[in-house]
Amino acid sequence: MFEGCAGWLHEAQGKTGVVLCAPLGHEAMWSHRAWRHLADDLAAAGMPVLRFDYPCTGDSAGACEAAHFLGRAASSIVAAAAQLRALAGVERIVLCGLRAGASLAVQAAEAMRSHPAWQGGAAALVLLAPVVNGRAYLRELRALHLNWLNSVGPTETPPSPPAGALDVLAFRFGADTVRDLEALRLDRGANCPAPRVLVLDPWPGSASAAGALAQYYTDGGAKVDTAAFADYADMMQSAEFAGVPAQTWRRLVQWLAPIAAAAAAAAASAALPAARWHLPGAAGTASLRVEVDGVVEESVWLGARRQFGILCMPRDAAPAPVAVIFPNTGGNHHVGDGRVFVTLSRRLARLGVVSLRLDVSALGDSPRARRSMSISAIYSSGPRVDVGAAVDWMRARGFRCIVLAGVCSGAFLSLHAALANSGVNGLVLANLVKFRWDRADDRSVGKGGRSWQGWLSAARRGGNWQRMLQGHVRIGPLAAAMARHAYRNASERVTFRLTRLRGGEDLASATAYARAAMRSLNERGVRTDMLYGSDDMGLEEAQLRFGRDLEALAAFTHITVHRHGCMDHALFLAEGRQVFCDQVVKHVVGMMDAMEAVGEGLPQGAKVC
């Protein structure tokens, strides 16, 4: 942690260090896997790397609505460069930014060049798909959010953001940030603030803003190299599908290699002393305990050091005996969309409750996280076992009551961990899509995932018909997806009725499995809250397994189903995240009240509400 920013140091012995300047909002979530592996690749090539979360983002301190974000983000890059120099003893700093992070890198390089402590500023800039024109960037973001809202948003129309602010999927840009972005024009600023520049352009051509920027910097006297960013689209998509652009990362490392070699040669000729610093523990796994936003957080490795997590604890009170674990949602790392797990875990800590933001071994910042991911891998047995290992880890630390709280695939992992591990006492499952994952699910991945309520909701929105008539929506794939959905729904209902007519249910069937699973949890007394958006595909799956009115769940005293019109599937909207957070808090407080009622008192100083 430095100046409230949470960072990762990727160790190496070279004298050229690289600060990675992440993109903003959803682009930071989608590219996290690629960004983490770029840092690994640069460190493997001998360049120490610092990647970090800007203030009010990721695991850093601060609230999302804090003002003057862009200016503080650019300042944090300068602070990150100073931190990297102090930790790793580097002599040169390269700033590498992606999308809006590239724009912030330019601003940070300008600040470094005018600061006497940097003696000329950054040695080089790497600008990956840079945002050159802020107005064009905002138009792109508005279109993305509107398209999502019109296609898979909730039934209820969400409230508008505050005046001047902009919501983009799960992230909000404040009014002052929007104004700063509108004024952003890299091609109208001062001359390039670094002597060497690499510009990688996903959309090369005569109309390319990145290409024009490269020419602008060349005319200003910088040595600029340009290349296509051919695998950009593979990286910049939803995290469960996003890949690592291996070809581009190799090109980037090769471009930086001569700069790093020159720094190493200069250091050798000057006979500089070795950097005097050391991190305890195995490389890349030094634990850190810090105070942030009124709570205490600690980085932890668990499950034979295969998994990473952030343990969030109360600062002043003894912790309650109840602890909460948040598994990954989809391919996202442990912070969650809209920082939902960060804000919720800190809220719980202020109530005296410890929580763990978990990265299972295949995802996020875990030591051996994969370079590629798929829906099938996320739903496979490995992540389920990982969550169970996290439950055992928390139990071994004295917590008598463990609650798992997950969204979508995180709800699935929580459910299966609870079924396999008797150490789970409570569940909060938001928009659980499947009760069991079969080979048929592997085959159907990516072939349309929307409920009938969702289709009807989309059909009621006039803007969608207008987009279809204008040719912006392809009718063929849409009709095929609806046909597949209708076939699956009808065939499963027919199969279920036939098994009942034969005098019993086939235990191998998905319906029988779901009912047996919920019966088992109920008999064990596992308190289970199931949350669904009113038109969510997960609700339709639940109706398929338990009846249209979920009547098969009515007899289970420990299982409660909640429906909310404001909840979208991934909890992109603030209203849906608030519902989830409030339900988790209510669930945990109820568990603590129950423990107190049976004589399992809370530690002195712990709060119940």
Task: For 247-291, write each residue's pLDDT tens digit.
Answer: 999 999 999 999 988 766 655 544 433 333 333 333 445 678 999
β-sheet bridge partners, residue 20? 51, 96
Average pLDDT for 180-186: 96
- pLDDT of amino acid 156: 81
Q: Report the candidate in 562, 570, 511 with the shortest Cα–Cα distance to residue 534.
A: 562
Q: What is the DSSP letter of 306?
A: T
Indicate if the pLDDT at residue 455 is higher than 60.
Answer: no
Q: CA 116, 118, 124, 127 torsion: positive or negative?
A: negative
- pLDDT of amino acid 151: 84
Kindly report the CATH number that applies to the domain delimited by 7-132+195-269: 3.40.50.1820
- pLDDT of amino acid 458: 47
Confidence of residue 200 (pLDDT cuts 50, 70, 90): very high
Tokens linked to 508: 């191998």
**Residue that wins the pLDDT comparison between 27 and 268:** 27
Indicate if the pLDDT at residue 402 is higher than 80.
Answer: yes
Task: For 556-576, write each residue's pLDDT tens digit.
Answer: 999 999 999 999 999 999 999
- pLDDT of amino acid 294: 95
Task: For 339-372, write each residue's pLDDT tens digit.
Answer: 999 999 999 999 999 999 999 999 999 999 999 9
Average pLDDT for 143-158: 88
Kindly report the CATH number that applies to the domain delimited by 293-431+567-597: 3.40.50.1820
- pLDDT of amino acid 280: 31
Give me the count of residues in the chain: 609
Question: What is the domain partition of the chain in residue ranges?
Answer: 7-132+195-269, 293-431+567-597
- pLDDT of amino acid 601: 55
Find the farthest-apart pair of alpha carbons in the chain and give their distance in angstroms, rounded: 87
In single-letter form, the type of residue at position 479 comes to: A
Indicate if the pLDDT at residue 325 is higher than 80.
Answer: yes
Q: How far apart are CA 489 and CA 135, in angstroms?
A: 44
What residues contact 49, with CB distance under 8 A and at least 6 apart? 9, 10, 12, 17, 18, 19, 20, 39, 42, 43, 84
Indicate if the pLDDT at residue 474 is higher than 90.
Answer: no
Indicate if the pLDDT at residue 489 is higher than 90.
Answer: no
Indicate if the pLDDT at residue 597 is higher than 50.
Answer: yes
Q: How far apart are CA 115 and CA 119, in angstroms?
A: 7
Other beta carbons within 10 angstroms of residue 476's beta carbon come to: 7
- pLDDT of amino acid 265: 60
For residue 47, how many C-alpha atoms fall within 13 Å in the half-sphere facing its CB? Answer: 31
Identical fold at 7-132+195-269 and 293-431+567-597?
A: yes
Task: For 64-76, write each residue's pLDDT tens digit.
Answer: 777 889 999 999 9
Give alpha helix (H) positions in 153-208.
175-182
Average pLDDT for 480-486: 46
**Residue that wins the pLDDT comparison between 420 and 601:** 420
CB 182 within 8 A of CB 138: yes
